[in-house]
Amino acid sequence: MPQLTLKHVVDIDYITVEHSISRFLVNYLEVSRGSGYVVGVSGGIDSATALALAVRSVGPEKVFALILPDIDTTPRDDVEDAIELVERFGVEYHIIEISRAIQIFKELIPLYSNDIADRLPLGNLRARLRMCILYYYANKLNHLVLGTGDRSEYLIGYFTKYGDGAADIAPLTILYKSQVRHFAQHLGIPNKIIKKPSAPRLWPNHLAEEELGIKYEDIDLVLTAYIDLGIPENKISEITNICREEVDKILKLYRSSHHKRQGAIMPDTKILDIIQKKIHENFYNQVQE
């Protein structure tokens, strides 16, 4: 049986990728009548790529960047990398340190225990607070919020619902993480950011692959095999040379995170149709009289 390797995933035409996504960004801005895009820049690979793509698509004058560190979780190096990026691409930006706001939330929420016991909800709060600030600027400037998530994280649900998963437009969700790294090189992102380990920084020393327990390269291979190529689940381990336990873990993440990609679940309107049928019939009859 032929082997599926990472080369099959990343060996794509990134010039055509840029042209296609750029048209998408330009057209959506025109249709929505927005003045530009606002993007959160963390100093990581995804936000750097989204920033560069936006600037090359609509121009730096139509892109506003926000750097939103928390001194309790964000390394200074990340902030410096983010500043270097926004200045490199010539966009206007603000730096807003969010730790004071997080502290206020801790004091307001009766359920808060401590940073260790509340690590996950507190980390998600950081992501959602950043989302609130991004949308404040979007409303103020008549901009659209540009999402920075990639396809790997989108498909396994590795994002905060209504946090970094909230955006008006999400151009990188067609590219796996390994593809984003190659695309970033095409866009002129500094090599130190391309090689930097993915790190959500929702709590101190928070690294993505460490939390997931899986390498992105393996995630990308398994998802490519299962979703893009339609390889039967029981054959994926053989063609990717990834152990069955890891394949099962990745596919479990994909299936269990469906609700995060679906949005709010709504009841079937047929329930109301049955309840209101008599009212609607009476109203219709009155109109006809």
User: Which positions make up the binding site for deamido-NAD(+)?
Assistant: 128, 161, 168, 259-260
Q: Is the C-alpha dihedral spanning 48, 50, 56, 62 positive or negative?
A: negative
Q: Residues marked as binding for ATP? A: 40-47, 148, 177
Q: Cα torsion for 207, 209, 213, 217, to the nearest 10°? A: 180
Residue 67's SS3 state is strand
In whole angstroms, what is the distance from residue 183 CA to residue 118 CA? 36
Q: Cβ neighbours of residue 263 under 8 Å, at least 6 residues apart? A: none
For residues 67 and 77, the answer to whether their CB atoms sit within 8 Å is: no
Q: Residues marked as binding for Mg(2+)? A: 46, 153
- Residue 58 burial (10 A CB sphere; 0-12, 13-18, 19+): buried
Q: Where are the beta strands (DSSP E) in the chain?
A: 36-40, 63-67, 92-95, 143-145
Q: Residues marked as binding? A: 40-47, 128, 148, 153, 161, 168, 177, 259-260
Q: What are phi and psi of 3, to 5 degrees?
A: -95, 135
* Beta strands across the sheet bearing 92-95: 92-95, 63-67, 36-40, 143-145
Amino acid code (one letter) for 214: I
- Closest by Cα among 259, 198, 258, 248 to 222: 248
